[in-house]
Amino acid sequence: MNTQKIKAVYKGVIVLAAGMLLLSCSTGKNYSRPELSLPEAYAVSSTETDSSLARLSWNEFFTDTTLQRLIQRALTHNFDLRVALARVEAYQSYAKQARAAWLPALQAQATASTTNPSENSLNGISLSNFLETSHLEDYTLAASVSWELDVWGKIRRHKEAALADYLETFEAARAVQTAVVAQVAEGYFNLLMMDAQLAIAQRNASLSDSIVQMIQLQKNAGEATQLAVQQAQAQKQNALILIPQLEQAIALQENGLRLLTGDWPGRIGRTAQLDDIPVEQGLATGVPAELLAYRPDVRASEMALKAANARVGVAQASLYPSLTLTATGGLNAFEASNWFSTPASLFSVASAGITQPIFARRALKTQVEVSRAEREQRATEFKASVTTAVHEVTNALIRIDKAKAEQVVATERVETLNQAVRNAQMLFRSGMANYLEVISAQSSALEAQLDKALITRHQLAAQLELYHALGGGWM
């Protein structure tokens, strides 16, 4: 093909492509966030400022150094988080591939062939008569370019979907991180609570031993019965049985924390006590609309909706014609000695093609209908995630408020019952109270102290729940 013919073909292709581009429009709708009608404030009283607790990084929110080390190790070695990050890398590659879809496809090919037809065949007779040879050789070195024009926006919508898929996995990984941070902190608070309860049980066992000795002395003096000694011993055993139970629970919780950090079972060194962890007051929640910015699971849900919306455009574009430009050129000869002889061995081919699907057994229409249904599903899931997030923040605020009220009563109860134990012991020594009153006071004091440790842990858990519900822990 001479140069003028090649130019004519290219001009025809360009005119055809320009005409289709002028007449075309992108399929599908651009993404817009669904109407949510979020409340202006949370239903429960909270500190509503321009800032939100979610803006604090986890190492600012958790100040205990042991807990910080545990969280840092978990963010490096936690198995669920590592799986989520690997998923992010995979979808990042898909996004890169989608961006490259705008570019033409380039291929190179080199072939060499020889054909030896039968001498009695039509090909064999033709070769011997016209070329005076018994075989035919062919040598080709060529490069081809193929480029699909994005007439209907299919490639652009596919790129949008791939990018949204990547961002969904990215936000999902952040959601896993916030969950891991919350799980490690919750496990650590449980550990400190059980440490406190173990110390309470050990102190009560020591106190019970003193009471047993005191009643034993009175029995020896004829002032108490064997029944009194046995009941005092039973109270001591109540405290003693808690010790191995709590030691077992502590060991299991330590193993649970080490599993979260991707480590083998073993002890966890710590120096802090439950009362050393501060219970913050007036935690800032911001407004419900900020959940769209800080909750990674909500953001992941919105990215899934955005991807589904883009796939509707891809499915719709598949119903329309596709325009493809191709060009091939290189060297071709039927003798090896002339293969690289230029310009005689040069060849080129240029073409443009339009493909219009006509009947695909309803596959394309079904694809459009399914993509629309999936978009509606994702829209509902997004609205549900936002609603759930608002409920979780509200519930956490309720728990913080009620746990604070419980802590006030629990502290007063412990002080009252500790004083009752001291008074019962004094009255018992002076003969103004019997042993049952002493044992009852000690039993009530033990229960109150254990409950107070549990309520303190509830306060910390509610504070942690609010931080997690607001979307904190991924920065």
Residue 214 has what pLDDT?
80
pLDDT digits (tens, 9 = 90+) for 2-53: 555 445 544 554 544 444 444 445 678 999 999 998 998 888 766 555 678 8
pLDDT digits (tens, 9 = 90+) for 55-103: 999 999 999 999 999 999 999 999 999 999 999 999 999 999 998 888 8
Please, how many CA atoms are within 13 Å of residue 77, restricted to the half-sphere of its CB?
A: 15
| Higher-confidence position of 437 and 378 | 378
The 3-state DSSP class for residue 471 equals: coil
Structure tokens given for 344: 């005689």
| Higher-confidence position of 356 and 6 | 356
Run of H or E residues at 355: strand 346-355
Mean pLDDT for the chain overall: 88
Q: What is the mean pLDDT of residues 321-340?
A: 90
Query: Is 287 exposed, middle or buried (CB count within 10 Å of its CB: 0-12, 13-18, 19+)?
Result: middle
For residue 372, report the phi and psi dihedrals to the nearest 5 degrees. Answer: -65, -40
Question: Is residue 353 over pLDDT 70?
Answer: yes
Residue 3 has what pLDDT?
53
Residues of the chain above pLDDT 90, percent = 59
Residue 132 has what pLDDT?
64
Those residues whose C-beta lies under 8 Å from the C-beta of residue 59, and which sit 6 or more positions away, are 68, 71, 72
The 3-state DSSP class for residue 30 equals: coil
Residue 1 has what pLDDT?
46
Run of H or E residues at 143: strand 136-149
Residue 292 has what pLDDT?
93
Q: What is the mean pLDDT of residues 141-156?
A: 90
For the chain, which domains are there?
26-104+151-319+365-469 (1.20.1600.10)
pLDDT digits (tens, 9 = 90+) for 91-122: 999 999 998 888 899 999 999 988 888 877 77
pLDDT digits (tens, 9 = 90+) for 450-461: 999 999 999 999
Residue 23 has what pLDDT?
43
417 within 8 A of 444, measured Cβ to Cβ? yes
88 within 8 A of 170, measured Cβ to Cβ? yes
Beta bridge partners, 146, equal 105, 326
DSSP string, 416-429: HHHHHHHHHHHHHH
Residues of the chain above pLDDT 70, percent = 92
Residue 22 has what pLDDT?
41
Residue 415 has what pLDDT?
94
Q: What is the mean pLDDT of residues 235-252?
A: 93
Residue 19 has what pLDDT?
46
pLDDT digits (tens, 9 = 90+) for 309-319: 999 999 999 99
Q: Report angle CA 10, 13, 19 to the nearest 5 degrees.
A: 140
Question: Is residue 321 over pLDDT 80?
Answer: yes
CA 135 vs. chain centroid, Å, equals 66
Q: What is the mean pLDDT of residues 253-276?
A: 94
| Higher-confidence position of 441 and 197 | 197
pTM of the model: 0.84
Q: Report angle CA 381, 311, 36 to the nearest 5 degrees.
A: 30
pLDDT digits (tens, 9 = 90+) for 405-448: 999 999 999 999 999 988 888 887 877 877 788 888 888 888 99
Residue 47 has what pLDDT?
58
